[in-house]
Chains A and B, each alone.
Chain A
Amino acid sequence: MIPAEWLPVLCIAVPLAAGVAILPMEKLPRRVPEVLAVAAAALTLLLSGMLTLQVYGGNLIVHLMAGWKPPVGIVLTVDLFNAFIALIVVFLVFLSALFSASYMHGETGLNYYYSFMMLMLGGMLGVILTGDIFNLFVFMELTGISAYGLTVFRAYRARALEAGFRYLILGAVGTSLLLLGVALLYGAVGTVNYADLAVRLSKGIFLPGVDGSLVIPLSIMLIVTGLGVKASFFPLHTVHLDATSEAPSPVAAILSGAETKVGIYAICRLIFLIVPFEALNWPLIFAVLSLFTMTFGNVAALLQEDLKRMLAYSSIAHIGYILMGVAAGSQLGVSAALLHIFNHSVMKGVCFLCAGIFMSQVGTRSLSQLSGVGRRLPVTTTLLSIAFLSLIGVPPLSGFVSKFLLFTASLTAGMLWLVLAAIINTVLSTGYYLRFLKVLIRPSTSLPREDVKEASPLLLASPFILTVLLVVFGLWPQPLLEVSNQAASTLFQLSKYVSTVLGGS
């Protein structure tokens, strides 16, 4: 049995080690990197599952890297909030890796693909589990660089190359702004440890000669902007958009389902735990961001004729819904946001993987050419339809539960206008989801060729598992509600967090 305080380290180390080990395997048969990557992801999934079990019930695990005590030493801190997000991320990456094993068979250089995927997983887990803000930046860059590599994996496609370059430049500017914010924060407060930051900011302790009222809002703005590039909310969404629609489908699932959530997680951690929520009128800022993000995402998605591009825009819209919960600022809001983070990861996982199946079986993703494809690929289209209905928020499915909670949380926080806007948005989104569905399942036209067949069970396994989750947690949401409620409550227990992290020093 592994001691609990070593679990977070292993969660980061296993995928990173796998990524480095896979990198030089160019000459080996492609099965070797595949099996290694899937095995490493499965092991990480197991570890993060154990981690979640350990912190369930309100425990806090603190790992001192190399035994150096905080605030100077680097710490990994795990409570249920980040353990749950880590579990979601690992689960999605594991299924994407599994899907890639049968999806990417035609490509060369798969060792780089799996290596980047594992490095990205390690980076994301690092961002999630770390307890200091400079490490957040380091792991953010690791996530970023691997994501750029994955986006341009099909470098023979001009559009992927371009999307990747734009992603790289804007992503690097984003992380630079994050670093600038961290530098200013360090300059004002003199520490980078989350718990220490929280203590000093709440007591108003600044380094001599620093006007905190000026530097802190500026640095937090910069950090949130930097993280926002990853979370892809409204003015910063373009970065993610092209990358998600041009990357290979399993990668798109990770970018949209996991990476954005990592950004949202970091923002939540920052504005709820570290910086007093009242400092900057956060609720209003996030409510406005949420409004713009979801409206923009939905209106733009209405105009799309390309399945993956529509999904990318709809991701942005859903980031808007998640921000609604963040804007509510209450425990109910965060728990609803957390639930929607889980649901959206799962739903977008199904959607992008199904889009990938269309790409591999039909060879296109433009809506007009996919007309009537449901008659030839019934299983894939059924899975996609369930995910679409869940994205709209149709009652027996999981998407309904989280959307309903988000609306309730927003109403409780007195933001009726935001709820009304979100309802109008939901109606708008129904328009394009149903239009896509209608075209996909309309009576067969001449377009899908005769030789188009249903995908193999191996390809269908990953989206199938995800869809089952959607249905199960739609009918029986109690366990999920329980976890997300507890996880959200840990985010508001500042004194416990601080005393556990800084306790021994």
Chain B
Amino acid sequence: MNQALPYLLCTLQMVIALYCIFYKRNLIKIILGLMILSDGINLLFILIGYKFKGVPPILHEEAFKHGLEAFYAAAVDPLPQAFVLTAIVISMSVTAAALALTIKIYQKYGTLDVYKIRRVRE
């Protein structure tokens, strides 16, 4: 399979997310776009550390059978996974904050349509 394909799919997902954030009128959909965007980036991050037919980066008995060099060459990069875990937690808290704000906005205006909410610029 073409190696570039997963990267292209990630990029496509980010483009869709950006479209969703900047062109949708519903606040919930905008927040969904934000989640899709951060998931696209997380996916890309995982992809960067991934090796096709790679092994888990854990030093157990199996790893010593073929020597450490072979293990190093075959193991996927564990660092991006740690990064992504952190990023997922952060994106969750941003989403929570956004949803809390959305509730407030809905209580105030009775609508989730951004075009009906714009008053700051007046």
On A, residues with C-beta under 8 Å from B are: 72, 134, 137-138, 141, 144-145, 148-149, 152, 155, 158-159, 161-166, 168-169, 172-173, 176, 179-180, 183-184, 186-187, 192, 242, 246
In whole angstroms, how far apart are the Cα atoms of A149 and B98 in the complex?
Answer: 10
Bound: A159/B37 CA distance, A: 27
Say yes or no for B111: interface residue by CB 8 A criterion.
no
Q: Are B120 and A163 in contact (CB under 8 A)?
A: yes
Question: Which B residue sits closest to A144, measured CB to CB?
Answer: B94
Could you give 13 example pairs across A and B, Cβ below 8 Å? A134-B86, A144-B94, A158-B109, A161-B108, A163-B120, A168-B98, A173-B18, A179-B41, A180-B41, A180-B44, A183-B48, A192-B83, A246-B120
Partner of B104, one of A144, A161, A172, A180: A161
Beyond A138-B86, A168-B94, whether A242 also contacts B41 by CB under 8 A is no
Task: Pick from B31, B34, B83, B119: contact of A162, CB below 8 A.
Answer: B119
The 9 A-B pairs of least Cβ separation, nearest first, read A187-B48, A183-B45, A141-B90, A180-B41, A162-B120, A172-B94, A159-B120, A176-B37, A155-B104
Q: Which residue numbers of B lie inside 8 Å of A, CB to CB?
A: 14, 18, 21, 27, 30-31, 34, 37-38, 41, 44-45, 48, 79-80, 83, 86-87, 90, 93-94, 97-98, 101-102, 104-105, 108-109, 117-120
- Name the A residues within 8 Å of B48 (CB-CB): 183-184, 186-187
Further pairs besides A165-B98, A169-B98, A246-B120: 16, Cβ < 8 Å: A72-B79, A137-B87, A138-B90, A145-B94, A148-B101, A165-B105, A166-B120, A168-B94, A168-B97, A169-B34, A172-B34, A176-B41, A179-B45, A180-B41, A187-B48, A192-B79
Give the residues in chain A near B21, CB-CB below 8 Å: 169, 173
B101 touches which of A138, A144, A168, A186 (Cβ 8 Å): A168
The complex places the Cα of A72 from the Cα of B98 at a distance, in Å, of: 33
Shortest Cβ gap from A23 to chain B (Å): 14
A161 partner residues in chain B, CB cutoff 8 A: 101, 104-105, 108
With both beta carbons as reference points, the residue of chain A lying nearest to B109 in the complex is identified as: A158
* Minimum Cβ distance to chain B for residue A470 (Å): 31
Shortest distance from the beta carbon of A102 to any chain B beta carbon, whole Å: 27
Nearest to B27 among chain A residues (CB) is: A165
A173 with B37: CB separation less than 8 A: yes
User: Across the interface, do A158 and B37 meet the contact criterion of CB distance under 8 Å?
Assistant: no
- Complex CA gap A168/B105 in Å reads 13
User: When the two chains form the complex, which single residue of B18, B94, B108, B120 contacts A242, counting CB atoms closer than 8 Å?
Assistant: B120
Closest to B84 in A: A183
A162 to B97 CA separation, bound complex (whole angstroms):
14
Residues B101 and A165 in contact, CB atoms below 8 Å apart: yes
In this complex, the member of A164, A176, A180 whose beta carbon has the largest number of chain B beta carbons within 10 angstroms is A176
Interface SS majority for chain A: helix
| CB atoms of B119 and A159 under 8 A apart | yes
Known: A149-B97, A169-B34, A176-B37. A162 touches B90 (CB 8 A): no
A180 to B48, CA, bound (A): 11
Across-interface contacts of A164 in B (CB, < 8 A) = 101
A246→B118 CA distance, assembly (Å): 14
**Which residues of chain B are within 8 angstroms of A179 by Cβ–Cβ distance?**
38, 41, 45, 87
B97 lies within 8 A of A145 (CB) = yes
A165 to B14, CA, bound (A): 21
Q: What B residues does A246 contact at CB under 8 A?
A: 120
Give the complex CA separation of A443 and B108 in angstroms: 41
B14 touches A180 (CB 8 A): yes
**In whole angstroms, how far apart are the Cα atoms of A348 and B17 in the complex?**
36
Q: Note all chain A residues with C-beta closer than 8 A to B83.
A: 134, 183, 186, 192
Residues of chain A within 8 A (CB-CB) of B120 are 159, 162-163, 166, 242, 246
Of B34, B37, B101, B118, most buried by chain A (CB within 10 Å of CB) is B101
Residues of the B chain whose Cβ atoms lie less than 8 Å from the Cβ of A173:
18, 21, 34, 37
Cα of A138 to Cα of B82 in the assembled complex, Å: 12
- B97: contacting residue among A148, A163, A186, CB under 8 A: A148
Contact A169 B30 (CB under 8 A): yes
Query: What residues of chain A lie closer than 8 Å to B14, measured between beta carbons?
Result: 180
Given contacts A145-B97, A155-B104, A168-B97, contact A162 B80 (CB under 8 A): no
Question: Could you tell me if B44 and A183 are in contact, using CB atoms closer than 8 angstroms?
Answer: yes
Q: A169-B21, A187-B48 are in contact. Are A158 and B101 (CB under 8 A)?
A: no
Q: Are B80 and A186 in contact (CB under 8 A)?
A: yes
A162's nearest neighbour on chain B, judged by CB, is B120
- Say how far B37's CB is from chain A's closest CB, in angstroms: 5
CB distance from A258 to the nearest CB of B (A): 20
A210: nearest chain-B partner, CB-CB: B48
When distances are taken between beta carbons in the complex, the residues of chain B under 8 Å from A148 are 97, 101
Enumerate chain A residues within 8 angstroms of B86, measured Cβ to Cβ: 134, 138
Q: Is the beta-carbon distance between B108 and A141 smaller than 8 angstroms?
A: no
Interface contact B94-A162, CB-CB below 8 Å? no
Chain A nearest CB, measured from B81 CB (Å): 12
CA distance A245 to B37 in the complex (A): 28
Which B-chain residue is minimally distant from A309 (CB atoms)?
B120
Residues of A within 8 A of B79 (CB): 72, 186, 192
For the complex, give the distance between the alpha carbons of A1 and B21 in Å. Answer: 51
Question: Which of chain B's residues has its CB closest to A179's CB?
Answer: B41
Give A359 to B86 CA distance when docked, in angstroms: 41
Of chain B, the residue at the smallest CB distance from A246 is: B120
Contacts of B34 in A (CB 8 A): 169, 172-173, 176
Chain B residues, CB < 8 A from A155: 104
Complex: chain B residue closest to A170, CB-CB: B21
> Given the complex of chains A and B, what is the CA–CA distance between A148 and B44 in angstroms?
27
